[in-house]
Amino acid sequence: MINKDFFKQDLGNLMDQWFEFRDEKFEQLSKEDRKHLLKLDDKINYILSAVPKTEYSKVFNILDELGDKYLEFCSYYNQKYYMSGFYDGINILILALSGGVKNEIR
């Protein structure tokens, strides 16, 4: 029988560590990765160049907060779906090793 508490706690901790490791590995961008960069700072600077000086600080703060929230959103969903895929892979492995008996780990 599968110990579901293991999968909810210990495997969750393992996934957090793995995600941190993968995050560090992703910092090394390939040529292909560089083609898909958002270049968010360039876009923010372009927008700010069209803003009157009297509104610059206000618009800068709004765009800065929007950029932070966007990156937080991307990070959250990347981690969520990365972990879901990992759990699905573990479930498939369990199914294969158990002869097809369905063992839910979520």
pLDDT tens per residue across span 17-32:
766 766 666 667 778 8
Percent pLDDT > 70 in the chain is 71
Q: Could you tell me if residue 66 is inside a domain?
A: yes
Maximum mean pLDDT: which of 25-39, 51-65, 88-102: 51-65
Q: Could you tell me if residue 36 is inside a domain?
A: yes
Statement: residue 98 has pLDDT above 60:
yes
List of residues 6+ apart from 16 with CB closer than 8 A:
none
Count of domains for the chain: 1
Distance of CA 56 to the CA centre of its chain: 31
Residue bearing the bigger pLDDT, 104 or 32: 32
Domain that residue 70 falls in: 4-97
Q: Could you tell me if residue 102 is inside a domain?
A: no
Q: Could you tell me if residue 61 is inside a domain?
A: yes
pLDDT of residue 92: 79
Q: Could you tell me if residue 106 is inside a domain?
A: no
Q: Could you tell me if residue 105 is inside a domain?
A: no
The answer to whether the CB of 105 falls within 8 A of the CB of 91 is yes
Q: Could you tell me if residue 103 is inside a domain?
A: no
Tokens of 44: 């923010």
Residue bearing the bigger pLDDT, 60 or 39: 60
Q: Could you tell me if residue 39 is inside a domain?
A: yes
